[in-house]
């Protein structure tokens, strides 16, 4: 009896489980049995693997063949096991030395002609293999750059099964010409990397929106800067055309570049979701996700049939999740954000399994003041009865809004601001201040699990990093009057630390807390800053 084994990875969300692929040959009627909880696409690998082996010049064993995927209790799906199954079968048939593949991790789909096609989720698969101690991986050539992002792992990218057989058998490696797509046609080899309609294209650096294009809106621009510096959640309310969406679209540009660890986290999520931009194996800038208000619960928090898939909250991990026309979203969908806002991850349970996905995003909400959008405006009357206005804004529940640190009213832009010709401060200047504030916070929290002010528990800020004496007096009075909850007071203190970091203060003083209260409640407490921080 011939026997061989190699390794592949089963993906559960963005986490991988190392799977041992075993192939056994025994006398009997020729048959191919695949066991180990495979799904439909994996069960069909029997036909793909057989055709790929024959068309690669190999001889298919005419014996009873059993391929087992262990651990058998873990559901497995997708076409990424094809390469490992083919090599295990060839090793069991002694076409290649079984010892050569025992410590290899293989991940890739096989075409009927033997070509190795790229699949989604290569990065999290290689990360799981590296964590399990594997140091040599074989992946499709098109995804070799993605796999090489994992340190300490040797990556072999192959175009065809024929090439891999030659490498493992110490034979001359045949040249495989890469088929170029026709003019104006997409590359069919990249079809497996992207979900149709996912919009994976990324804007080049020079085309990204700049804050200098926003006229006026000093208070809202200041709120953007505070939100970026401390990762505080933000709510814009104002009439249509005031610039709420423009401001939100420029928020990702203020965030610092992702750290290497954050880049791997974000890239892994986008790789699994099929939204990794072509030719960009590593995402190093904060992502931006803005789902339509008709989005369902699974599309926002993750889910779907079978094993759940990442939703918008995970695609916005380490970046910005913008919900425009927030009151138009389903109340159940909005309230589902409460748990990831607190924990930084979302746990989705379905019949196909339980999946834990990262979801540490910066939430930005935008809403009109009423259904018609003219409530409170001069020159145009609002047709909405008071009951409709209350019901409209009441769709944003109190528990959700209590988790939003900054609440800003965006007023219509004045004609003088729009036509005055004065250029606003560009994104680059504001982003530099944000980076400086982030560095101050990171230095203060060195040796702790926190890096930004929004992550620090309120107890730590009240005992370990205290504000200046008497600075919290007004905030405490607001809490006594019922204007702030205990969570709200903690969030005011976090925002005050961010304001102090932007101003270069050693700790929050009374003025910093006043600005934090103003940004939290929308009630002006002190003088409006003319520009920058002092």
CA distances to 157, 244, 258 from 105, rounded to whole Å, are 12, 48, 28
Answer whether 140's CB lies under 8 Å from 281's CB.
no
Peptide bond into 508 cis (omega under 30): no
For the segment 256-276, the average pLDDT, to the nearest whole number, is 91
> What is the three-state SS of 466-495?
CCCCCCCHHHHHHHHCCCCCHHHHHHHHHH
For the segment 507-514, the average pLDDT, to the nearest whole number, is 93
Segment 433-460, tens digit of pLDDT? 999 999 999 999 999 999 999 999 989 9
pLDDT at 529 over 80: no
The lowest-confidence range among 11-25, 216-230, 390-404, 512-526 is 512-526
Segment 106-129, tens digit of pLDDT? 999 999 999 999 999 999 999 999
Q: What is the mean pLDDT of the chain?
A: 88
Segment 355-398, tens digit of pLDDT? 889 999 999 999 998 888 877 776 667 888 889 888 888 889 98
Answer whether 173's CB lies under 8 Å from 189's CB.
no
For residue 487, the model assigns a pLDDT of 86
For the segment 333-343, the average pLDDT, to the nearest whole number, is 92
d(CA 128, CA 9): 7
For residue 315, the model assigns a pLDDT of 93
> What is the three-state SS of 381-398?
CCCCCHHHHHHHHCCCCH
Backbone phi, psi, residue 232, to 5°: -95, 140
Other Cβ atoms within 10 Å of 47 Cβ, number: 11
Answer whether 341's CB lies under 8 Å from 363's CB.
yes
pLDDT at 166 over 80: yes
For residue 366, the model assigns a pLDDT of 95
The beta-strand segments (E) located in 327-392 are 345-350, 353-358, 362-367
Q: Structure tokens of 324?
A: 């425009």
413 secondary structure, DSSP code: P
The string over 110-144, giving b where at least 16 C-beta atoms fall within 10 Å of a residue's C-beta and e elsewhere, is bbeebbbbbbbbbbbbbbbbbeeebeebbbbbbbb
């Amino acid at each position: 009896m011939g026997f061989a084994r190699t390794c592949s990875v089963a993906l559960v969300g963005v986490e991988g489980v190392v799977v041992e692929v075993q192939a056994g040959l025994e006398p009997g009627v020729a048959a191919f049995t695949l066991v180990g909880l495979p799904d439909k696409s994996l069960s069909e690998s029997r036909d793909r693997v057989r055709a790929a082996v024959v068309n690669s010049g190999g001889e298919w064993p005419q014996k009873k063949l059993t391929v087992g995927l262990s651990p058998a209790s873990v559901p497995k799906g997708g076409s990424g096991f094809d390469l490992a199954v083919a090599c295990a079968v060839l090793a069991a048939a002694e076409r290649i030395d079984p010892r050569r593949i025992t410590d290899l991790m293989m991940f890739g789909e096989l075409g009927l002609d033997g070509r190795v096609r790229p699949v989604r989720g290569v990065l999290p698969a290689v990360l799981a293999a590296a964590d399990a101690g594997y140091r040599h991986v074989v992946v499709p050539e098109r995804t070799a750059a993605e796999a090489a992002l994992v340190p300490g792992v040797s990556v072999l990218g192959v175009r065809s099964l024929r090439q891999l057989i030659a490498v493992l058998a110490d034979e001359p490696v045949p040249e495989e010409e890469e088929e170029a797509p026709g003019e104006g046609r997409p590359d069919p080899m990249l079809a497996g990397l992207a979900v149709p309609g996912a919009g994976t294209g990324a804007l080049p650096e020079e085309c990204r929106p700049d804050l200098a294009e926003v006229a006026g809106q000093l208070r809202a621009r200041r709120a953007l800067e505070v939100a970026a510096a401390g990762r505080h959640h933000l709510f814009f309310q104002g009439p249509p055309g005031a610039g709420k969406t423009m401001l939100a679209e420029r928020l990702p540009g203020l965030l610092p570049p992702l750290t290497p660890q954050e880049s791997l986290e974000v890239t892994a999520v986008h790789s699994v979701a099929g939204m990794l931009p072509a030719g960009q194996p590593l995402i190093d800038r904060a992502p931006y996700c803005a789902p339509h208000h008709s989005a369902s619960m699974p599309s926002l928090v993750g889910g779907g049939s079978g094993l759940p898939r990442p939703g918008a909250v995970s695609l916005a991990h380490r970046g910005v999740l913008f919900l425009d026309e927030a009151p138009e979203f389903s109340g159940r969908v909005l309230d589902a954000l409460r748990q990831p806002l607190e924990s930084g991850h979302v746990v989705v349970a379905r019949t196909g399994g339980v999946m834990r996905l990262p979801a540490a995003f910066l939430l930005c909400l935008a809403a009109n003041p009423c259904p018609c959008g003219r409530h409170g405006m001069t020159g145009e009357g609002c047709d909405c009865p008071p009951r409709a206005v209350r019901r409209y804004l009441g769709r944003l529940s109190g528990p959700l809004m209590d988790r939003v640190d900054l609440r800003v009213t965006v007023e219509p832009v004045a004609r003088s601001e729009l036509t005055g010709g004065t250029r606003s401060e560009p994104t680059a200047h504001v982003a530099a201040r944000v980076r400086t504030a982030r560095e101050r916070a990171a230095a203060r929290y060195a040796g702790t699990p926190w890096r930004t002010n929004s992550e620090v528990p309120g107890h730590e800020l009240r005992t370990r990093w205290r504000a200046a004496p008497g600075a919290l007096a007004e905030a405490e009075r607001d809490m006594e009057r019922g204007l702030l909850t205990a969570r709200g007071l903690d969030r005011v203190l976090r925002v005050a630390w961010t304001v102090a970091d932007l101003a270069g203060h050693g700790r929050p003083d009374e003025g910093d807390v006043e600005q934090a209260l103003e940004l939290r409640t929308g009630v002006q407490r002190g003088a409006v800053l003319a520009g920058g921080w002092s």
